[in-house]
Chains A and B, each alone.
Chain A
Amino acid sequence: GAGVSQSPSNKVTEKGKDVELRCDPISGHTALYWYRQSLGQGLEFLIYFQGNSAPDKSGLPSDRFSAERTGGSVSTLTIQRTQQEDSAVYLCASSPGPQQETQYFGPGTRLLVL
């Protein structure tokens, strides 16, 4: 079946612009995660949605970052007023349920802020 998909695959933007990154999880998966992978920091957790529960936003680096998950499926990660240090690969993952399940990752969105 279809895996996790993300769009766009690549995004180049100018400093100060807003960007939206999209994630389509595997159908039926209740848990959705966003991570960021950058050269200096490795892979970092950003935010976690589980069903109808309040999301775990503890990994968001600043208030310029926000995410939504509509209808328990598709998620959008928004970065406002982008900075050069936001340049990274943004990875989305989903799992059938919380915590004890394998997470399945999408191919990522490569963001470059000029």
Chain B
Amino acid sequence: KQEVTQIPAALSVPEGENLVLNCSFTDSAIYNLQWFRQDPGKGLTSLLLIQSSQREQTSGRLNASLDKSSGRSTLYIAASQPGDSATYLCAATPSNTGKLIFGQGTTLQVKP
């Protein structure tokens, strides 16, 4: 059974700092891994999707990596801004289904 874990649960950094969010999964048989952002009281916004054959994806100040063999993904945020404050969720898609298995999320606060 696939399990997804995110560390840390919460993170507070000063504006401008680069930071890394961690995600680990127990079963390497995945189609892809996705990173989402959730603002309080809102739905999820997709940030990056990494297919199982890929090693990383980049979008603006965000870079996500995937290492299937070690069961790990990281989300790197460069030059953080107060507007980046939100909960970040990673989710793995097991190979035998389309459903997402989510981690518990990392709540990020970027202080001005």
Mostly, the B contact residues are strand
Bound complex: CA of A50 vs CA of B43, how far in Å?
Answer: 22
Q: Is B107 in contact with chain A by the CB < 8 A criterion?
A: no
Bound complex: CA of A91 vs CA of B102, how far in Å?
Answer: 13
Q: Which residues of B contact A65 (CB under 8 A)?
A: none
Residues 34-80 of A contacting B (Cβ, < 8 Å)? 35, 42-45, 48, 50, 56, 58-59
Interchain CB contact (< 8 A) of A33 among B42, B99, B104, B105: B99
Bound complex: CA of A103 vs CA of B89, how far in Å?
Answer: 13
User: Do A42 and B43 have beta carbons less than 8 Å apart?
Assistant: no
Q: Which residues of B contact A25 (CB under 8 A)?
A: none
Number of B residues, CB within 8 Å of A: 23
User: Do B97 and A42 have beta carbons less than 8 Å apart?
Assistant: no
Residue ID in chain B nearest A46 by CB atoms:
B99
User: Do A35 and B34 have beta carbons less than 8 Å apart?
Assistant: no
Q: Which residues of A contact B91 (CB under 8 A)?
A: 43
State how many angstroms separate the Cβ of B80 from the closest Cβ of chain A: 24
Bound complex: CA of A45 vs CA of B89, how far in Å?
Answer: 14
Q: Which residues of A contact B99 (CB under 8 A)?
A: 33, 45, 48, 56, 58-59
Residues 92-111 of A contacting B (Cβ, < 8 Å)? 93, 95, 98-100, 102-108
Residue ID in chain B nearest A107 by CB atoms:
B43
User: Do A102 and B34 have beta carbons less than 8 Å apart?
Assistant: yes
Q: Which residues of B contact A43 (CB under 8 A)?
A: 89, 91, 100, 102
Q: Give A4-18 as 1s and 0s: 1 = Cβ < 8 Å from B's Cβ atoms.
A: 100000000000000
Q: Which residues of A contact B100 (CB under 8 A)?
A: 33, 35, 43, 45, 103
User: 9 closest pairs, A vs B, by CB?
Assistant: A43-B102, A105-B44, A45-B99, A105-B43, A107-B43, A99-B98, A98-B98, A99-B31, A42-B104
